[in-house]
């Protein structure tokens, strides 16, 4: 039996989410993790726009509960190439973390993915 994929740090998460780096519109992906940081499942949502994204908080919470996740790692791309989190990114991250917390689910990180790499909210001290 194959060892489950584990997401232990921002580098591992960046590799998991690398597929969205060249998307022409904003795409968000969510990785649902178990207590041992093993990958339980994923969700992907696409925006109709190049520079905005509706964060599907209810769906993320529902998926996390269905998977029995204890943690979530989120990533979204910036098609324009600027890896700096916007104020809207920061606000959305805070809203998601607050929504998951009472459910016993922790938002472990949020990455902004571009063609030049990924920036971690946790490493920036924003989470």
Q: How do residues 71-97 score in pLDDT, each as one tens digit?
A: 999 999 999 889 999 999 999 999 999
What pLDDT is stored for residue 48 in this prediction? 73
Structure-model confidence comparison of residues 51 and 124, the more confident one: 124
pLDDT band at 7 (very low <50, low <70, confident <90, very high): confident
CA 94, 96, 98, 100 torsion-angle sign: negative
Cβ atoms < 10 Å from Cβ of 16? 17
- CA atoms lying within 13 Å on the CB side of residue 79: 14
Task: Supply the DSSP symbol for 1.
Answer: -
Rounded to an integer, what distance in angstroms lies between the CA atom of residue 119 and that of residue 33? 20
CA 49, 52, 58, 60 torsion-angle sign: positive
What pLDDT is stored for residue 1 in this prediction? 54
Q: pTM value?
A: 0.91
Span 29-39, average pLDDT: 95
Question: Measuring CA to CA, which residue among 105, 106, 42, 49 is closest to residue 77?
Answer: 49
DSSP letters spanning 43-63 = EEEE-SSSS-----HHHHHHH
| 3 pLDDT higher than 90 | no
What pLDDT is stored for residue 2 in this prediction? 61
Rounded to an integer, what distance in angstroms lies between the CA atom of residue 122 and that of residue 103? 21
């Amino acid at each position: 039996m194959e060892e489950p994929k584990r997401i232990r740090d921002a580098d591992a998460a960046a590799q998991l989410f690398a597929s969205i780096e060249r998307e022409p519109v904003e795409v968000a992906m969510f990785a649902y993790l178990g207590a041992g940081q093993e990958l339980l499942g994923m969700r992907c949502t696409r925006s109709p726009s190049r520079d905005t994204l509706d964060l599907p908080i209810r769906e993320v919470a529902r998926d996390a509960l269905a998977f029995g996740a204890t943690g979530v790692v989120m990533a979204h791309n910036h098609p324009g190439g600027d890896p700096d989190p916007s104020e809207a990114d920061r606000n959305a991250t805070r809203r998601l973390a607050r929504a998951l917390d009472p459910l016993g689910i922790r938002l472990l990180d949020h990455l902004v993915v571009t063609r030049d790499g990924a920036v971690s909210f946790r490493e920036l001290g924003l989470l």
